[in-house]
Amino acid sequence: MRGLPALPRLIFQTIIAIAVSLVLINTNTVGVAFDDSIVNQALTVFWIVGICNSINFFDNLDGGAAGTAVVVTLGIFYIAYNQGQESVSALAMVTAGATLGFLMWNKQPAKIYMGDAGALFLGVVISVLSIRVNPGIHQSWKSIALMPILLAVPILDTTVAVTSRIYRGLSPLTGGKDHLSHRLVRKGVSHKVAAILLWAGSGLFALLAIGIYNSPKTLGTPLVYLAALIWASALIYFLRIPSED
């Protein structure tokens, strides 16, 4: 998709996501959230396209996307391994290890870069792993909330960028220096520290997700609310930072 404009690229991604969702749902290799198969397929397509683009958007700072991907895939590994999902846990660990190795060369100052191809591929892997993992939580809303919490930082980055662009009358598909990393730098934080802060944020949400998984009945509900409160507070905070220099 190199050189492809934003809208045709999004259409192409959606077509691929539809094909992937059909395979996953028809072969019973993805958890279903609702009784309606069309709703499940639509949610699967939305999730795959959304996470692919979130990871791609997030790749705007040396080590930012790679470090966060390591945290996310380790979280998926932990849940899948404890659920006995050998294939999912193995692929999650391989992805975490490969991305960690890449991070050694991609951290500030970066010697190699992920690019659109690498970021989109990583997004596909993470999105599919996140819908393949079965946390075994009987209360479906907590089960559904688990992966968005684990991926809260990339989702936050996309939400902040898209919201600010729409507010300024710009296309949400256009590029810009309005991501979390750019806003942190505008607050006087160095690029290296900005990456570390984003990793730490991902780590915090990963711990919340694991806490929900480990104690869904006792701590599940308050931890979901806590994660939502932290995410909403971060959204308001970052939106108040100027979108441009």
3-state class of 30 per DSSP? coil
Domain count of the fold of the chain: 1
Q: How far apart are CA 63 and CA 53, in angstroms?
A: 17
**184 within some domain:** yes
48, 121 in Cβ contact below 8 A?
no
- The average pLDDT across 187-194 equals 92
**191 within some domain:** yes
**Cβ contacts of residue 160 below 8 Å, gap of 6+?**
178, 179, 180, 183, 235, 238, 239
Would you state the pLDDT for residue 217? 82
**206 within some domain:** yes
**1 within some domain:** no
**Cβ contacts of residue 207 below 8 Å, gap of 6+?**
none
Amino acid at 124: V
Would you state the pLDDT for residue 20? 80
- The average pLDDT across 88-106 equals 95
**245 within some domain:** no
Would you state the pLDDT for residue 9? 77
Question: How does pLDDT run across 210-225, given as a tens digit for each residue?
Answer: 999 998 888 888 999 9
| Bond preceding residue 154 cis, omega within 30 of 0 | no
135, 143 in Cβ contact below 8 A?
yes
Where does the pLDDT of residue 25 fall: very low under 50, low under 70, confident under 90, or very high at 90 and above? low
Q: Quote the tokens at residue 40.
A: 């499940």
Q: How far apart are CA 86 and CA 92, in angstroms?
A: 10
Where does the pLDDT of residue 2 fall: very low under 50, low under 70, confident under 90, or very high at 90 and above? low
**244 within some domain:** no
**26 within some domain:** yes
Q: How far apart are CA 66 and CA 76, in angstroms?
A: 15
**199 within some domain:** yes
Question: How does pLDDT run across 136-189, given as a tens digit for each residue?
Answer: 777 677 888 999 999 999 999 999 999 999 998 888 877 788 899 999 999 999
Tally: H helices and E strands in the chain: 10, 0
What pTM does this model have?
A: 0.90
- The boundaries of the domain holding residue 206 are 6-239
Question: How does pLDDT run across 31-83, given as a tens digit for each residue?
Answer: 555 566 777 788 889 999 999 999 988 888 888 899 999 999 999 999 999 99
**Cβ contacts of residue 192 below 8 Å, gap of 6+?**
62, 107, 108
